[in-house]
Structure 1
Amino acid sequence: MNDSQTIRAAAIQISPVLFSRDGTTEKVLQAIAKAAKAGVQLIVFPETFIPYYPYFSFVQPPVLMGQEHMRLYEEAVTVPGPVVDAVSRAARSYAMVVVLGVNERDHGSLYNTQLIFDADGTLLLKRRKITPTYHERMVWGQGDGSGLRVVETAVGKLGALACWEHYNPLARFALMAQHEQIHCAQFPGSLVGQIFADQIEVTIRHHALEAGCFVVNATGWLSPEQVGQITTDEKLQRVLSGGCNTAIIGPEGNHLCPPITEGEGMAIADLNFSLITKRKRMMDCVGHYSRPELLQLQVNLEAQTVMAESPDSNFLMAEIPLDPSLQPTP
């Protein structure tokens, strides 16, 4: 990527079609087509947008959420699978890099997964949230370090984290150390209220400043009718509001377009890569401002598995001579 090049990015604030993988996927495809008409080259969708974020787990006790958890299993995305194929075709058709959050089903487990598609439709990265937060631990399994990677795309070097992974400074530093140019952040939205929106603001602007990169952040949104579908308890409905802050931040920590804090919409901005060098000239946390002889990060980037083949699957037990005193008497 030429440091003087400019690309156009979009962060999408959008509501899912609750309880429908196919319906929400169709909204993704429509948003990609609409963004293409605006000249967008990179589009970022909210956290676990397909089929929908598991809001039920925030308002229901574990003993009561079995039915909704099972419904999420039924509507979850498999990788590879039809949803991946459809988004891949759209990315290729519009020559657009797509960052999409999904609930991924891998046999008997669900994961909070981020997918990065290149402009030719190639799935470059499938990463799983390394530590689900609080109520999410009843829904999703844990990811591993194989997803803490920056990938080279048609629009530059991309890294991605979901929600409170941004409060893990070592996870963020792992991406910074790989010189990400655009950081793609995803949050659920319509959760906890204004304080959550304020926290998102602080989080994404700080990462842009510290990493010297662009941050494209997408949050979801629920309509009042959808909140009523999730819970009829008016007290609980109040916690399924606010918390939306879809924004694009420059390397100097400034908004590059007006943020979206309510309703559906598309935040669009042009990213001029010369601003990265301008920021890092002053402070490069993984370059001239680092002190590797004092502070270093060690990270395991290997994918983990529950079963690994022995290096020598045909090994023989070693013959250990017995103590002569224990030999039977002839």
Structure 2
Amino acid sequence: MNSQHIRVAVVQDAPILFNKQSAMDKIDGHTRDAAEQGADLVVFPEVFLGGYPRGLSFGTRVGSRNTDGRKDWERYWESAIDIPGTETDTLGELAKETGVYLVIGVVERDQEFSRGTLYNSMVYIGPDGKVLGKHRKLVPTGSERLLWGQGDGSTLTVIDTPFGRIGGLICWENYMPLARTSMYAQGIDIYIAPTADARDTWQAALRHIACEGRCFVISCNQYSTKDSYPADLACYEDVEQDPDILSRGGSAIVSPLGEYVVEPLYNEKGILFATLDLSQIVQSRYDFDVVGHYSRPDVFQLVVNRKKQDITQFL
């Protein structure tokens, strides 16, 4: 790594669902493999640690929840992590040993209030082993709202590194124009967009964000199959009739002018590698800088509430 180039690794894989150790083992193995191939930044998919329970209902119908679903929910809660906590300490040791920046999608437990709420989060760990920041998904999508709480403006995180500013948003919150603008306004250079969306339309979003923000965009998705689902889940019947491939992936890397640096990877696990030429960021902003010379602050203004949610203020 130098100030003008960075080698990135994008991991497309899936752990055993609800199995924290499986995820930690895969993070360890893939990070070491990526570091051996010169990676400076290693990115893992949305809720890789804790799992994306695609297809599961958790025993929920409109107006009711059943006992089996509550048992699966408890299992999901047990597979989540605290930030900071034992798992982030272990991941910090891994980052320090390998000398990489780690960005990992996790299921995070609330530590401050009831501990009964989970969040879809993205944690940033530096090569010094420290947690540099986190982002909690602002709006869980669709039935995800049964699983995760809403993040707030205090975690619209962008982090300074020797190779520029990194940050990002999770899955469909990337479709929120003002959330994207909050990233651009912080001078983001490498925009990380972990996702669970394997559709072709997601690729259009990545290329648009790259052109709009004049930044590199890294998207990371899981390649998951039914083999990664424990057969003893109470709600396993929810996916029994589904295809064997539950998520085909689609991880990709896009340049600041919207061209693929690495095209989407589908229907297999793997690690995408690329060496990014950061001079392309400056060059791309010559004719379009979304929060600079191409903005109109006299016409449009962005207001972001960065205050941390505090339930005690209402007590």
Same fold (TM over 0.5): yes
Matches within 5 A, 1:8-23: 8-23=7-22
Question: Aligned to 2:253, what secondary structure does the other structure show?
Answer: strand
Which has the higher mean CA deviation after the structures are superposed, 249-258 or 286-295?
Answer: 249-258
2:264 to 259, 277, 290: 259
What's the secondary structure of 1:222's corresponding residue? strand
Residue in 2 that maps onto 1:40: 39
**TM-score normalized by structure 2?**
0.90
The yes-or-no answer on 1:76 pairing with 2:87 is: no
| Residue of structure 1 equivalent to 2:121 | 113
In the alignment, structure 2 segments of 5+ residues that lack a partner are none
CA separation of 1:147 and 1:236: change in aligned 2, threshold 3 A: farther
**Structure 1, unpaired ranges of 5+:** 190-195, 311-330
Q: CA RMSD in A?
A: 2.3
The equivalent residue for 2:5 is 6
The 3 A distance-change label for structure 1 pair 178 and 273 is: same
Query: Is 1:286 matched with 2:285?
Result: no
Closer, same or farther: CA 44–58 of 1 in aligned 2, 3 Å = farther
The counterpart of 1:103, out of the listed 104, 107, 110, is: 107
> Is 77-86 or 53-62 further displaced after alignment?
53-62
8 Å contact from structure 1 (residues 76, 104) kept in 2: yes
Give the structure 1 partner of residue 60 of structure 2: 61
Structure 1 residue 235, shift from structure 2 partner: 7.7
Equivalent residue in structure 2 for 1:123, among 104, 117, 131: 131
In the alignment, structure 1 residue 220 sits paired with structure 2 residue 219 = no
Matched, 1:205 2:207: yes
Structure 1 pair 58/174, CA: closer, same or farther in 2 (3 Å)?
Answer: farther
User: Is 1:168 aligned with 2:162?
Assistant: no
Deviations 1:46-83 (A, max 9, x none): 00111211325458535243221111011111112111
Correspondence for 2:188: 180
For residue 201 of structure 1, what is the amino acid of its counterpart?
Answer: Q
What letter is aligned with 2:221? T
Structure 1 match to 2:311: 306
Q: 1:234 to 1:117 in 2, by over 3 A?
A: closer
Alignment partner, residue 48 of structure 2: 49
Question: How has the CA–CA distance of structure 1 residues 115 and 186 changed in structure 2, closer, same or farther, with 3 Å as cutoff?
Answer: same
- Residue 248 (structure 1) shift: 0.8
Query: Which of residues 272, 279, 282 is equivalent to 1:274?
Result: 279
> CA contact under 8 A between 2:122 and 2:134: conserved in structure 1?
yes
Q: TM-score, normalised by structure 1?
A: 0.86
The alignment partner of 1:260 has SS state of strand
Following the alignment from structure 1 to structure 2, what is the Cα–Cα distance between the partners of residues 204 and 104? 25
CA contact (8 A) 2:224 2:247 kept: no
In 2, distance between residues paired with 1:67 and 1:202?
38
Alignment partners' CA distance in 1, 2:105 and 2:87 = 12
Q: Aligned to 2:127, what secondary structure does the other structure show?
A: coil
Q: Does 1:151 align with 2:159?
A: yes
Structure 1 residue 295 and structure 2 residue 300: aligned?
A: yes
Closer/same/farther in 2, CA of residues 239 and 31 from structure 1, 3 Å limit: closer
Aligned-residue offset at 1:282: 1.3
8 Å CA contact 1:188–1:221 kept in 2: the answer is no
CA distance 1:254–1:60, shift in 2 (3 Å): farther
Whether contact under 8 Å (2:42, 2:100) holds in the other structure is: yes
- Deviation (angstroms), 1:308: 4.3
Structure 2 contact 156–182 (Cα < 8 Å) conserved: yes
Match of 1:89 among 64, 69, 93: 93
Change in Cα spacing, 1:209 to 1:171, as seen in structure 2 (3 Å) is same
Q: Which structure has greater strand proportion?
A: 2
